[in-house]
Structure 1
Amino acid sequence: MLPPSPQPPATSSTPLPPIHLRSSANKSYNVPLPRSNKPRRRFYHLIGADATPAKLSSSSSPSLSPSSNTAAESPSSDATLLSLLRQRKTEEAYELYSRFRHIPSPTCLSRLLAQLAYQRSPTALSRAQSLVRRLRDARLLHRLDANSLGLLAAAAAKSGAASYALSLIRSMLRSGYLPHVKSWSAVVSALSSNTDPDGSTDALRLFDSVLRQIATADSPLTINSRPDTAAFNAALNAASNLGDTALFAQLFDKMPAFEAKPDVLTYNILIKLYARAERKDLLVFVLERIIRSGLVPCITTFHSLVAAYIGLCDLPTAEKLVQSMREGRRDICHLLRTETSKILTTSNEEEPGSILNKLAAIAGDEPPPLLPKTYKPDTRIYTTLMKGYMMAGRADDVVSMVSAMWREPDPSSHPDIVTYTTAITALTNAGAMDRARHLLDEMSQYGVTANRVTYNVLLKGYCAQLQLDKAKALMRSMAEDAGIEPDVFSYNILIDGSILVDDSASALAFFNEMRERGIPPSQVSYTTLMKAFALSGQHILAHKVFDEMEKDKRVKVDQVAFNMLVEGYCRLGLIEEAKRIVERMKEKGFSPDVATYGSLANGIAMARKPGEALLLWNEVKDRCAAGDVDGGGGGGRGFRPDEGLLDALADVCVRAAFFKKALEIVACMEEYGIAPNKTKYKRIYVEMHSRMFTSKHASPARQARRSERKRAAEAFKFWLGLPNSYYGSEWRLEPIMEAD
Structure 2
Amino acid sequence: MTTITTNPFPVNHPLTFHRVAQPSPPTPFNSANSKHNTHPLTAYTYSTKHAEPKLSATSHEDQPLLFLLRQRKTEEAWLTYSQSTRLPGSTCLSRLVCQLSYQNTKEGFTRAQTIIQRLRDERQLHRLDANSLGLLAVSAVKAGHTLYATSIIKSMLRSGYLPHVKAWSAVVSRLAASGDDGPTEALRLFNSVIRRVRRVADPAIAADARPDTAAYNAVLNACANLGNTGKFLQLFDEMPEFDVKPDVLTYNIMIKLCARADRKDLLVFVLDRILDEGIDPCMTTFHSLLAAYVGFGDLETAEKMVQAMREGRRDLCRILKDSNWENSENADEVFVKLLPRSKISSDHDPPLLPKEYAPDSRIYTTLMKGYMKEGRVSDVVQMLEAMRHQRDSTSHPDHVTYTTVVSTLVKAGSMDRARQVLAEMARVGVPANRITYNILLKGYCQQLQLEKAKELVREMADDASIEPDVVSYNILIDGCILIDDSAGALAYFNEMRTRGIAPSKVSYTTLMKAFALTGQPKLAHKVFDEMLKDPRVKVDLVAWNMLVEGYSRLGLVEEAKKIIQNMKENDFYPDVATYGSLANGIALARKPGEALLLWNEVKERCGQKKVEDSSSSAPPLKPDEGLLDTLADICVRAAFFKKALEIVACMEENGIPPNKTKFTKIYVEMHSRMFTSKHASKARQDRRMERKRAAEAFKFWLGLPNSYYGSEWRLEPDDGDDYSTDSF
What TM-score does the superposition give when structure 2 sets the normalisation length? Answer: 0.83
Pairing partner for 1:704 from 680, 683, 686: 686
SS at match of 1:219: coil
| 2:189 match | 206
Write the distance in 2 (CA, Å) between the matches of 1:194 and 1:187.
Answer: 11
| 1:255 match | 239
Write the distance in 2 (CA, Å) between the matches of 1:720 and 1:161.
Answer: 60
Task: Tell me by how many angstroms 1:613 deviates.
Answer: 3.9
SS at match of 1:726: helix
Write the distance in 2 (CA, Å) between the matches of 1:480 and 1:464.
Answer: 24
**Structure 2 counterpart of 1:215, one-letter code:** R
| 2:725 match | none
Q: Relative to structure 1, is the Cα distance of residues 563 and 693 closer, same or farther in structure 2, using a 3 angstrom cutoff? A: same
| 1:69 match | none
- Would you say 1:413 and 2:395 are equivalent positions? yes
Alignment of 1:453-532 (within 5 A): 453-502=435-484, 507=489, 524-525=506-507, 527-529=509-511, 531-532=513-514
| 1:311 match | 295
Write the distance in 2 (CA, Å) between the matches of 1:322 and 1:386.
Answer: 11
Write the distance in 2 (CA, Å) between the matches of 1:736 and 1:728.
Answer: 22
Write the distance in 2 (CA, Å) between the matches of 1:174 and 1:412.
Answer: 49
SS at match of 2:336: helix
**Structure 2 counterpart of 1:691, one-letter code:** R
SS at match of 1:221: coil
| 1:5 match | none
Q: Relative to structure 1, is the Cα distance of residues 639 and 407 closer, same or farther in structure 2, using a 3 angstrom cutoff? A: same
Instruction: Tell me if structure 1 keeps the 8 A contact 2:41–2:162.
Output: no
**Structure 2 counterpart of 1:205, one-letter code:** R
| 1:177 match | 161
- Structure 1 unpaired stretches of 5+: 1-10, 59-72, 629-634
Task: Tell me by how many angstroms 1:174 deviates.
Answer: 3.1
Instruction: Tell me if structure 2 keeps the 8 A contact 1:328–1:374.
Output: yes
Instruction: Tell me if structure 2 keeps the 8 A contact 1:22–1:45.
Output: no
- Would you say 1:326 and 2:303 are equivalent positions? no
- Would you say 1:19 and 2:19 are equivalent positions? no
**Structure 2 counterpart of 1:466, one-letter code:** L
RMSD: 4.2
| 1:391 match | 373
Alignment of 1:121-136 (within 5 A): 121-136=105-120
Instruction: Tell me if structure 2 keeps the 8 A contact 1:162–1:190.
Output: yes
| 1:281 match | 265
- Would you say 1:360 and 2:342 are equivalent positions? no
| 1:62 match | none
SS at match of 2:308: helix
Task: Tell me by how many angstroms 1:303 deviates.
Answer: 0.9
Task: Tell me by how many angstroms 1:490 deviates.
Answer: 3.0
Q: Relative to structure 1, is the Cα distance of residues 451 and 698 closer, same or farther in structure 2, using a 3 angstrom cutoff? A: same
Q: Relative to structure 1, is the Cα distance of residues 337 and 639 closer, same or farther in structure 2, using a 3 angstrom cutoff? A: closer
| 2:655 match | 673
Moved more, 690-699 or 32-41: 32-41
Write the distance in 2 (CA, Å) between the matches of 1:25 and 1:156.
Answer: 19
SS at match of 2:170: helix
Alignment of 1:460-609 (within 5 A): 460-502=442-484, 507=489, 524-525=506-507, 527-529=509-511, 531-532=513-514, 534-536=516-518, 539=519, 541-544=520-523, 546-547=525-526, 550=529, 553-554=533-534, 560=542, 563-564=545-546, 567-568=549-550, 570-573=552-555, 593-609=575-591
| 1:235 match | 219
Instruction: Tell me if structure 1 keeps the 8 A contact 2:40–2:131.
Output: no
| 1:431 match | 413
Write the distance in 2 (CA, Å) between the matches of 1:179 and 1:308.
Answer: 36
Write the distance in 1 (CA, Å) between the matches of 2:165 and 2:463.
Answer: 49
| 2:141 match | 157
Pairing partner for 2:199 from 194, 211, 216: 216
Instruction: Tell me if structure 1 keeps the 8 A contact 2:586–2:595.
Output: yes
Pairing partner for 1:107 from 88, 91, 94: 91
Q: Relative to structure 1, is the Cα distance of residues 268 and 524 closer, same or farther in structure 2, using a 3 angstrom cutoff? A: closer
Moved more, 315-324 or 643-652: 643-652
Task: Tell me by how many angstroms 1:139 deviates.
Answer: 4.2
Q: Relative to structure 1, is the Cα distance of residues 521 and 309 closer, same or farther in structure 2, using a 3 angstrom cutoff? A: closer
Task: Tell me by how many angstroms 1:238 deviates.
Answer: 2.5
**Structure 2 counterpart of 1:679, one-letter code:** T
Write the distance in 2 (CA, Å) between the matches of 1:51 and 1:711.
Answer: 81
- Structure 2 unpaired stretches of 5+: 23-28, 611-616, 720-728
- Would you say 1:117 and 2:101 are equivalent positions? yes
Write the distance in 1 (CA, Å) between the matches of 2:487 and 2:196.
Answer: 61
| 2:173 match | 189
**Structure 2 counterpart of 1:463, one-letter code:** C
Task: Tell me by how many angstroms 1:306 deviates.
Answer: 0.9
Between the two proteins, what is the percent identity of the paired residues? 63
Write the distance in 2 (CA, Å) between the matches of 1:27 and 1:444.
Answer: 55
Write the distance in 2 (CA, Å) between the matches of 1:464 and 1:26.
Answer: 55
Deviations 1:256-282 (A, max 9, x none): 343323222222222222222333333
Moved more, 612-621 or 32-41: 32-41
Deviations 1:9-33 (A, max 9, x none): xx9998895635899899999x999
Task: Tell me by how many angstroms 1:311 deviates.
Answer: 2.0
